[in-house]
Structure 1
Amino acid sequence: MKYMRTLSGIVMGVLLLLLSGSVSVGTEGENLEEIRHVLLLNSYDQRMTWVADIVRGVEEVLQPDKNNLDLHIENMDTKVFHSPEYYRQFFEYLKVKYANIHLSLILSSDNNAFDFLRKYKGVLFPDVPVSFCGVNDFHPNQLEGQNDFTGVAEIFSARKTVDLALSLHPETTELYVINDYLITGRAWSNNIEKDLKGISPKVHIRHSENVSISELMQEISNLPPTALVLFGVYFSDRDGRYYTYEKIGAMLSASSNVPVYCLLEFNIGKGVVGGSVISGLYQGREMAETGLKILNGVAPADIPVKMKGSNRFIFDYIQLERFGINEISLPAESYIINKPYSSYEEYKVQFWVVIVFILTLLATVLFLCINMVKRIRAEAALRDSEERFRQLANASWEAVLIHEKGVLSHANEMFFEMFGYTPEELAGEHIVSVILAKESVGEVQNRIENSLTSSYEAVGRRKNGTTFPIEVHVREVTIQGRDVRMSAIRDLTERKIMEARIAQSEKMEAIGTLAGGIAHDFNNILSAIMGYSELSLSQLEGNEKVRYNIGEVLRAGHRAKDLVLQILTFARKSKEEKRPVQASLIIKEALKLLRASLPSSIEIRNSLYSDSYVLSDTTQIHQIMMNLCTNAGKAMGDGGVLEIELSEVELDSVLITSMHLDVEPGRFLRLTVKDSGVGIPEELQVKIFDPFFTTRSKSQGTGLGLSVVHGIVKDCRGAITVESEVGKGSVFTVYLPTIEPDVDTRATVADELLPTGNESIMFVDDEPAIVDMAEKVLTNLGYTVSGYTSSSEALLAFARNSEKYDLVITDMTMPHMNGDRFARELLALKADIPIIICTGFSEQITEEEALKMGISSYIMKPVVMKTLAITVRNALGKI
């Protein structure tokens, strides 16, 4: 036994000596090897499964930590942001961020990043080789003059997928191909059509139309049992609604009663049968393997672009079972997900627990041996590590600092640049109270005292006293045996501005949706009010008082109609149209709103001396008043006097020059808004009309109000001036050129001679009051009228006796069958029937589209009697 123990000790000593020697060489080589920087530029957001798979494939192949690589990942997110200005700003962003970073390799995924690098790499990263993947419609001529580009093209296997699908479903008579109508979707449609050329003549290939997602789902659900679906790419529908590829795949598959095949891997498992699919993981791996060759010294020009081989057959076992597809019929190399476990699968956890336990024991022994060697070399490596950290920290675009209990120990150059201090000024300082605004000091101090290291937002303060939003990422580390904190600080100013703009955009979209609904219902109500008023005036003789009263109702209806149009214009639901506007009427309406919104302690005085007209838009005049008066109210706080004066003035060239106005000589409407508020400092008066400039906090204003007013005034060929003194208030004066208004043709119908007729008219509207009113109005004009409140009943009546009717008038928005579909059914029965569509508001069809499909006229509610009479006569005259 003694000799056995001795022999065992000798063997163990030799083993440790061998391990020590091998580890020593590897560790020393690793420490001496220079870190190489690799940039991965993704076209889309990394949250997309496709991009996430590419990144995973790249990391699996490159193994940055093992190969001493620093992998930088930038996501362009061009599915959402793709304007020229965005690309320009992204170019500047990369230029600044990587100015001091020497890249050894660039990896590029998908077309937008590929095209961006082809255009800008020569300026941003000259002589840096590129390996790409995911490029649709790749052609070798795209690399002319680009000798340092190579990679793997994204070529889908539509023909392989469809050939297999047809062999699995020999009864197929129709193939329905789905792609969206964005650039990528159209390109896929064209390539699929080319790839499927010459396929079985008994199979009819049909591509999806540019419709809403609900219409597309309805189309899929109505496919016959002998149809198949081939799903390509779909990111946005006709109405601009965006979806992730995974979500849209699941939605469309759920709507289908027939098998759905696909060309992209991440759609499988969401109701799709499968296919020969493009895999983001395999695209990323192929690209990274090419990149490794380049890093190992192979020139990109000597590596041909890989055109095939990165696709594989993948199927969903659940869908195979659902449609009775036998696994034996699938290609031998197929991979099947969701397959029931075998006996091995049932016990593989226990099996691998044992294996892992054994491997863990072996790894523990190996780890202990390696640690013994590493401890000997730790001190020498520490100096190299500190220098490497300093270089990396200074290259970062984030502020990086090391502190112990809030006292600054080390910081990179970006930290001192961001906060405006020098290293000497902050040496040994307790930086919490120095670089943070007062409202953030307490919270951050609490985090330090309680060892909280989660990321958080705070308010930073520069040396000059200005504050700005920041994001802090904290990590506890041990340096030379001491527990310290490493913090990375990011300036959030640009991100906060972008978030505010997006939030404002979403608010405007919500307002637009609300405005559309209000317009439709309110115009229906106005149709009845104005129609019955006109009908009463046409039938009422004598009794001028009653006629006057009804006339006032009618005039109020016209004002309400204009108000609805104003709401739609403000919400961008109708086109802005300049026309003669009597400013005094709009100002009076605005004053009513202001009185309700301003504090009662603010006295409003108005002097409106002019009823002249200007060429503008009612919404614009309203915006001028509301923005100027709201700013005045905020300047006065809880009390003061707000004076509004409207008058006229003649401006000649001498006055214009002396007043420094940029207008042409002539007669002008002068709007003066005067407040008794705090006033504006002289040095700020030249900036107040700049977009986003404001002296108030974010909760009190966006800095857009006065810039909007300035833009409206300039658009109307006018001018705006400001006079202000601190403590004595401000006076804003707006000059708008006056015009002579057109003769008002909106007189009461009773005073005009209206065209009449004796034809037979069908009138359809889901509002009984409107149908009743229209029957009476048209009957008074001599016509025979058949009224219906149901489009389905009206269509049945027309089908029974289409020759009875000379004209059809229909509402646009109705239950069961909308006006455009109703009109198509009528034209199918009688191609020459004249049709008039009336609508309170509709986004489903424009006037231009209505006229193209054969509609005679397209008129907006509420329709006055004169307009209805003339439109009917014109439509009948076209027969």
Structure 2
Amino acid sequence: MLRRNSFAILCSCLVLLLSLSFMVSASTAAADSKKRVLILHSYHKGLKWTDSEDEGINAVLRTRGSQLEVHTEYMDTKHHSDDRHYQMLADFFRQKYSSMAIDVIIVSDEDAYNFMLKHHDAIFRNAPVVFCGVNFFDASIIEKNRDTYTGVVEAYDIRSTLRTALALHPDTYRIVVINDRSVTGLANKKILNEVMPEFERKVSVVYFEDLDMEDLLKRVSALNRGDIILLMTFNKDRSGRVFVYDDSISLVARASRVPMYGVWDFFLGKGIVGGMLTSGANQGKLAAEMALRILDGEKVRSIPVVKESPNRYMFDYEQLSRFSIRQEHLPEGSIVNNRPVSFYEEHRGKVLAVAAIIAALSGMLIALLVNIERRKKTESSLRKSEEKFEKIFRFSPDWIAILRLSDGTYVDVNDAFVKMTGYAREEVIGKTSLDIGIYVNPDQRYEINEQFLRDGRVEKNELQYRMKSGEIKTVERSGELLDIAGERCIVSIVRDVTAKKEAEMATLESERQKKLRKEAEIKMLQAQINPHFLFNAITTIIHYTRTAPDVATELLMKLADFFRKNIKPERERVPLAKELEHCEDYIGIERARFEERLQVTYDIDPAALECRVPPLILQPLVENALRHGILPKEQGGNVVIGAHREGALVRIFVQDDGVGMTQKQVEVLFIEPLEQAGEGGRTGAGIALQNVNARLIAIYGPEHGLTIESAPGQGAKISFTVPEC
């Protein structure tokens, strides 16, 4: 018995050992089937550019799930870049990976790429290499090892960035390049040396490099209008201190009063206006996709090196606003980040749903109220009809007829029927409306009878009736089905509305013409609102919101009052004094933008202040002087607003000492706007002046239209006359 039990136990142990052996073998086989990927970064974890590359690489590798075994190493060359550090890394990697077969290596940036060129064969033997983020790529270096190397060149586009910057800031006279002396910085300098000669012919170029951070910030803070900054890399200063990208741009952005541009997207939102930006994530994604193709069996040599980066124009909304850059001036297809989202855009679905519910409930409520009101009227009419019917029938000024429902014959008609139609009572009693031919359109009789049968009543049906004389009258017919002497009858009440309809048509036509005139005048007034003025005013207010809130509040109140008067102008003529107040609101807003560049004086005869003028007639002339006369002059200028008596007339004028116009420009000014005429000098004028001129001529006659006196460089004087009040 004991021997049997021992034998059974021995067999069980053997089975268990065999099972464990198979499990271990299966586990080992599964581990061996995984592909090993080594990611070697030049810099350290936490560096914005490196993190974005790593994120792009892993986003692609994760699509293979558990099929891959990924190892990530950081060389940390921003902090340590001497030969001893590189040798220590080589020894470490040789010890760590000598017994581990790597299927593909992804390296990011110059240091890892150069390290791999030097140590690959000694450490990683035949493992294929995919690079990304390499700035200064020389294809001849890897040509003999093309079966091992491929990748993505970081071809950032300095040229497109600077061309765009100069187009957005046409008054630029100097480009300041910030760059360090790191390996990346030296690679940047090689590319800058190739690119910058194009721009040195247009503006001066200076380099802030190999400086202590304090010295750099001091120089940046001294930059003025006309300077722009091209920020490359400043990760290590002259004293050897290391700065991550976020820290370096944060310090420079706080010190800078001038626009900054860059070539990498990790600077966006941190202080640069924007540019043609390169994305580390895109670099990493492309490199990882190449690595997967190699793991799937594709030959390295058949995968070409990507030499054109997928760069995009990207800009920061806050910086665009800060430097008054209009979005329509950006290159086509530009992406604008940090754009404020309105409540409607953020909650569009909810807003539309609530609006639909409110509209549906409102419609149901209105329909219910209409139905209730109709029922009340019907019940009241039925209740009182028997009491008042006889009196109404005899003395009503409207004609009333009673007809049998069964055959449509007249049972009775009142005196008003006889008087209006010309038929005697005995001519219609016992006959139908078809017999006497009262309907101009007989089909209407059948439609009304169907309505009686369906609803039991009709209300104010407009019809055409033919009188006995042949005269056609327009009438309104109402009626109800009533029981009279035990028989269902139609009681029909008809009112002659011929004169009323003619009067209504005349009134409607008169109102229509009046409305058209008012709408035309309002449109002409509202058309004077200049979108450039609105944009500039809002930009100025936003600026003062940060620097002088009280000034911003005052400007906002003036802007609101200005637009209230433009959008809802006076219908009648106003005193010149009131029109001058409106101009002062406008000038107050513009003074905040022009500052010391604008001087305004008034030359007003006190006796002319009560003279009444069309509303909003003077402000467009002032705006024309500022926008097209003073604004183009760098040093600004003066505007004079005046009003003098000339006999029975008052001459009102606006004079500036701006850029002026040629005689040819003046001659075509009321034919087409100057910007369409292709002339130099005072361009963009015309539309507002045409509007004002048309209004003056329409109100006072051709002799009161605008008069323009101007010469190039001598300003312009625009005047008109109105009758003295």
TM-score when normalising by structure 1: 0.35
Greater CA radius of gyration, 1 or 2? 2
**Which structure shows the bigger proportion of residues in helix conformation?**
2
